[in-house]
Amino acid sequence: MQKITKAIIPVAGYGTRFLPVTKAQPKEMLPIVDKPIIQYVVEEAVASGITDIILVTGAGKRAIEDHFDHNSELYNWLAKQGKNELKEEIKKIAQMANFIYIRQKGPYGNGTPVLCAREIVGDEPFAVLWGDEFIYSKPPRLKQCIKVFEKYGDPVLSGLRVDKKDVNKYGIAETAQVEDNVYQIKSLVEKPDPKDAPSNLAMLGCYILTPDIFDDLDNLEPGKGGEIWLTDAIKSLMKRRPAYACEIKNGTYYDTGSKLGWLRANVDFALKRPELKDDFKKYLKGILK
């Protein structure tokens, strides 16, 4: 079984849900306490064994490249200030992985940035993660999905159970259980009406894909909104080979591309921080009173 070492992270979107702050700042660089969203996504990938991070960017995304680059001037300034521990922490960001940047070209839709990375991925299985959402879990969500892929050798999508009333917000899978938290996907339904939903297992933001998906993406007719959708390519691929859903264990989903999801993540992660949690709890209790 070929080891998965590459992850594609599309980061070319405009971030319209966060305007005006995203007019000059990538949404992926919005902070969760003191760390940008995109760093949480990259850290998950690295903790799962990924060595090559392929960031598919667009105009106005330079801050992402700068964040994962070395900054000797900052290192020197921190050293002069005696902040060597912070200097080493910042230095490690650029050393986490081999970062590769390509510009998105082609029609809108979340399938386009994946297709743009075809030449870099080559003939290898690979991961796709979105740059503005993540699932916090131990072990990492991606690692759980890779484990399923290593057993079955076919595409794997991460899933979480959602409230039945909320299924119209997500792509929902019709499945047949294979083992414990692993299901074979029979069909994918995008944002179904709750009364028509085949299950409450939502497919959320992490994919292990095989390189034959690129042909499906290349031949795909534009779908909803005239855009190229990764889900449509996966449906096409499923005509030739099975795909699996890995229901993530001990996972909490953060849609940090939405205002409410971003606020929730900040509260949750602030409460995990030893130096912040006590004072922050007092503050929150004071607000509730």
23 or 190: which leads in pLDDT: 23
CA separation for the pair 92, 69 (Å, rounded): 10
State pLDDT tens for residues 11-55.
998 889 999 999 999 999 999 999 999 999 999 999 999 999 999
Mapped onto helix, strand or coil, the DSSP state of residue 43 is helix
Q: Distance between terminal CA atoms of the chain? A: 57
Q: What are phi and psi of 77, to 5 degrees?
A: -65, -45
The set of residues, in sequence order, having a beta carbon less than 8 Å from that of 80 and lying 6+ positions away, is none
State pLDDT tens for residues 160-185.
999 989 998 888 999 999 999 999 99
CA separation for the pair 43, 97 (Å, rounded): 9
> How much is the mean pLDDT over the chain?
93
- In which region does residue 201 sit, left (phi positive, over 0), alpha (psi from -120 to 50) or beta (all else)? beta
CA separation for the pair 50, 4 (Å, rounded): 7
Q: Answer whether the bond into residue 113 is a cis peptide, omega within 30°.
A: no
CA separation for the pair 37, 13 (Å, rounded): 14
Quick one: what percent of the chain has pLDDT higher than 90? 83
**For residue 289, how far is the Cα from the chain centroid?**
36
Q: Give the pLDDT band (50/70/90) at residue 146.
A: very high
DSSP 2: P
Domains for the chain: give ranges and CATH numbers.
6-152+203-240 (3.90.550.10)
The set of residues, in sequence order, having a beta carbon less than 8 Å from that of 16 and lying 6+ positions away, is 22
Element spanning 54, H or E: strand 52-57
State pLDDT tens for residues 107-123.
788 899 999 999 999 99
* Torsion angle of the four alpha carbons 199, 203, 209, 214, in this order, in degrees rounded to the nearest 10: 100
Three-state SS sequence of 133-165? CEEEECCCHHHHHHHHHHHHCCCEEEEEECCHH
- Helical packing angle, 72-80 and 84-95, nearest 10°: 160
Say if residue 7's pLDDT is above 80: yes
Query: 56-71 burial string, b = 16+ CB within 10 Å, else e?
Result: bbeeebeebeebbeee
